[in-house]
Amino acid sequence: MQTRFLRSAAALLLAALMLPAGCRTDNGGSGGGATLPELDTTDPVPFEYVMGTDVIPVQEFAMPDKGVKFQDPAFKTTLVRLTDTDEDGYQGPGIQNEYSRSDPENCDGTMLILRSNVAAWYLYRPDPGEQIASLDDVFRDCTAEPEPRWDDEDPNVFYFVCGPELRSYDVSSKRSSTLHDFSEDVPGTVTIHTGSEGDASMDRRQWFFIAVDDDWQLISLVSYDLEKDDVLGIKKGGFPDKINGVSSDMTGRHALVGYDELLEADVFSVDLKESRRLSEGSNGHCDLALLPDGTDVLVYQNVRNDYICMSDLATGEETQLLRIPFDVNWDIGLHISGNSPKTPGWVLVSTYGAQNPPEDGEHSWMDTQLFMLELKPSPRVWRLAHTHCYTSEEADGEKVYYAEAFATITGSGHRVHFGSNWGDIRLDYSEAYEVILPDGWYSGVPD
């Protein structure tokens, strides 16, 4: 995962309804304060969209109990805490979704995979948060992060990487299968991975991997067609910097390659023979997304101009979407999630930061937020919730990585998953939370 906090020099098609059987998308503690009462689901406070970029102060309240639905007091959305370290007994100090760029839920929304903060993996049921099983045995012989990714049609199947192999696992039969061994295509390959930031195309056909040796040194990038079980391209060198991560775009037409130090990302053709350099500053926190007309875009924190921007992967054209208010508070960390092909033209943005703003600063409208951002000039901004994610008590305090929220939207656009320490600054502590989005929001967001 990209753990660097990047800040620019300037700042120093359908309503979201439950998917039918057959899930494929064919669209080309303690924060202090009072205890929040349990949501009365028989007569809840009426939901209404909160739009725009006004400063709305965080209303602090005690960490909610697991499994109890509650409303965000500022934004009137419904949330539920899914996990509890004492009740669930998972390994480590915390647990949450893996990252903003992958969907933890299966295609019909009946199961999700959560990662504990010591890299133990668990199968859960969403709302109200029931732990089904540990996945230790499934990943036992994997020497690196397994990067599980659900199938787009079968709600019982997910894919994962293990050593040089791409595998699948069937939850119902409890059986693993090896789909392809890449050491046969790239001799010397000990491990394949995406940098924990990659995903397959939305139909799960096109995959891109980094192949490394036993010293974790790059051997090559690999392009793979799962449907044909065919390696489409191998690129062994000529990269401008050490590769941080690789991913397919939503449609499977391009590979995105991000780097450790270079401030620009590259887009490659499926056969890895041609590439395009994206705009200066495009290698910040980012995700791939889809526009309503089927255009693949990268949405990112541009670390040169302090805007959330998007670039058309086919043309490289950049569009500035939303200015990041670093002039008010420079301590704003962002993650972006574009996982939902059922809600094209929108991404989820999550933010975190210190509990107290830096000296001479103040809280901005974007602090500790979840919001939906429209992918067009002068976009609509729909505010969802405060994350209560604080990476330190003071601006110079020790940063807590797992309080960065890195929220993700599900493929159906129905839910948002995120991790939060709810103001409890214990090192690496977090619990998993879920925002339940209103039915039909995709067509209901006001202008």
Distance (Å, whole) CA 371 – CA 347: 8
Neighbours of 361 (CB within 10 A): 16
**Assigned token pair, 17:** 């309804």
**Domain range 19-444, CATH architecture:** 7 Propeller (2.130)
Q: Which pLDDT tens digits describe the chain residue by residue (447 residues)?
A: 433 223 333 332 333 333 334 576 444 333 344 445 455 554 556 789 999 999 999 988 999 999 999 999 999 999 999 999 999 999 999 999 999 999 999 999 999 999 999 999 999 999 889 999 999 999 999 989 999 999 999 999 999 999 999 999 999 999 999 999 999 999 999 999 999 999 999 999 999 999 999 999 999 999 999 999 999 999 999 999 999 999 999 999 999 999 999 999 999 999 999 999 999 999 999 999 999 999 999 999 999 999 999 999 999 999 999 999 999 999 999 999 999 999 999 999 999 988 888 777 789 999 999 999 999 999 999 999 999 999 987 766 778 899 999 999 999 999 999 999 998 888 899 999 999 999 999 999 999
Distance (Å, whole) CA 270 – CA 221: 11
CA atoms in the 13 A half-sphere facing the CB of 243: 31
With beta carbons less than 8 A apart as the criterion, state whether 390 and 425 touch: yes
Give the rounded distance of the alpha carbon of 70 from its chain centre.
Answer: 23
Domain boundaries, the chain: 19-444
- Read off the DSSP letter of residue 66: B
Per the DSSP assignment, residues forming a β-bridge with 368 are none
Report the largest interatomic distance among the alpha carbons of the chain, rounded to a whole angstrom. 63
DSSP state letters, 253-278: SEEEEEESS-SS-EEEETTSS-EEE-
Distance (Å, whole) CA 424 – CA 388: 9
Residue tagged 């689901």 (tokens): 41
pTM, 2 dp:
0.91
Does residue 146 have a cis bond before it (omega within 30 degrees)? no
Q: Phi first, then psi: what are they for 92, rounded to 5°?
A: 95, 180
Distance (Å, whole) CA 95 – CA 83: 8
